[in-house]
Amino acid sequence: MTRTVTAPLDDVAVKSLRAGEQVLLTGRIYTARDAAHQRLFEAMQKGEPLPLPLAGQVIYYVGPAPAKSGAAIGPAGPTTSGRMDPYTLPLLERGVAGLIGKGSRSEEVKRALVRHTAVYFAAVGGAAALLARQILSSRIIAYDDLMSEAIRELEVERFPLFVINDCHGGDAYQAARKAYRNPAGKSHTSSK
Active site residues: 37
For residue 122, the cross-strand partners are: 101, 162
Cα–Cα dist 85/91, whole Å? 10
Cis peptide before 8 (omega within 30 of 0): yes
Strands 3-7 and 22-31: parallel
Inter-CA distances, 75 with 40, 71, 95, 126, Å:
24, 10, 28, 10
Q: Give dist(CA 60, CA 31) in Å, integer.
A: 5
From CA 3, how far away is CA 24, in angstroms rounded?
Answer: 6
* Beta-sheet pairing, 98-101 with 135-142: unpaired
